[in-house]
Amino acid sequence: MVALNEKEKEYLLSKIRDVYDFPKPGIIYKDITTLLNDKKAFNFLIEHLTKRYENLDFEFITGIESRGFIFAGALAAKLNKAFVPIRKPKKLPYTTISEKYSLEYGVDEIEIHIDAFSTSTQNPPKALLIDDLIATGGTASAAVKLLGKINVECVEACFLINLKFLKGDIQIAKTTPVYSVLEVF
C-alpha cells in the first residue's frame, strides 16, 4: 500500500500548528484545524488516503468522535464506502454496544449502533478505522475491541498523527495493522 515520502510528510506537518501548554501546562497540542482549512493540504491528504485504500477489500469506514469523523467521512465519500461513527456515550439514538477503556485518571467509554454493519455483504463485515491522532492508544484499542464484539474485522487502524513516544500504536498493532500518515518522535 502507498505511503508518503519524507517531503510529502514535511509538507503536511508544516500545516499542523503546535499549541503549547494546551490543554494543560507541558503539553504540546497538535492542532489540525490549520491543515483542515488549507484546502490544498486537506485535499492532498484525502487523495493520499484514497490511493492507499482504493484497492483494499472493505465496505465500511469507522471514525472515532470527533475529529476522526472528518477524515472518515471525507474518505468514505471518495471511496464510495459506508461511514460508521464511533461515539462517546449517550450520543447515538438507537440501541448501542459499548467498550470502556482506562484513562490516566479514570475510565471513559465509546459506543456504536448494534446494527451499524447490518447492510454488509461480507461475512464478517470489514472496516477501516480512522482517527486524527494516536497517543497512548486507549480510545483506538477500545474501538478495535468494540468492532470485534460485533464480529467486524478491522482491516487497518489509520491515524493522521502518531505520537510515537507514547507507544500507543504498539498496543493496537497486536490486534490490527496500523498506518500512521505522520509520526512525531
Instruction: Quickly state the pLDDT bin for 128 (edges 50, 70, 90).
Output: very high
Q: pTM for this structure?
A: 0.95
Q: Is the per-residue pLDDT at 96 higher than 80?
A: yes
Percentage of the residues of the chain whose pLDDT score is greater than 70? 99
What per-residue confidence (pLDDT) applies to 21? 96
Can you give the pLDDT at residue 169?
Answer: 96
Q: What topology does CATH give the domain 6-179?
A: Rossmann fold (3.40.50)
Scanning the structure block, which residue is given the C-alpha cell 470502556?
100
pLDDT in tens, 42-95: 999 999 999 999 999 999 999 999 999 999 999 999 999 999 999 999 999 999
3-state SS track over the chain: CCCCCHHHHHHHHHCCEEEECCCCCCCEEEECHHHHCCHHHHHHHHHHHHHHHCCCCCCEEEEECCHHHHHHHHHHHHHCCEEEEEECCCCCCCCEEEEEEEECCEEEEEEEECCCCCCCCCCCCEEEEEEEEECCCHHHHHHHHHHHHCCCEEEEEEEEEEEHHHCHHHHHHCCCCEEEEEEEC
**What integer pLDDT is reported at residue 135 of this predicted model?**
93
Select from 139, 131, 182 the least CA-distant residue to 161.
Answer: 182
Given a cut of 90, whether residue 106 has pLDDT beyond it is no
Whole-number mean pLDDT of the chain? 96
Q: Is the pLDDT of residue 104 over 80?
A: no
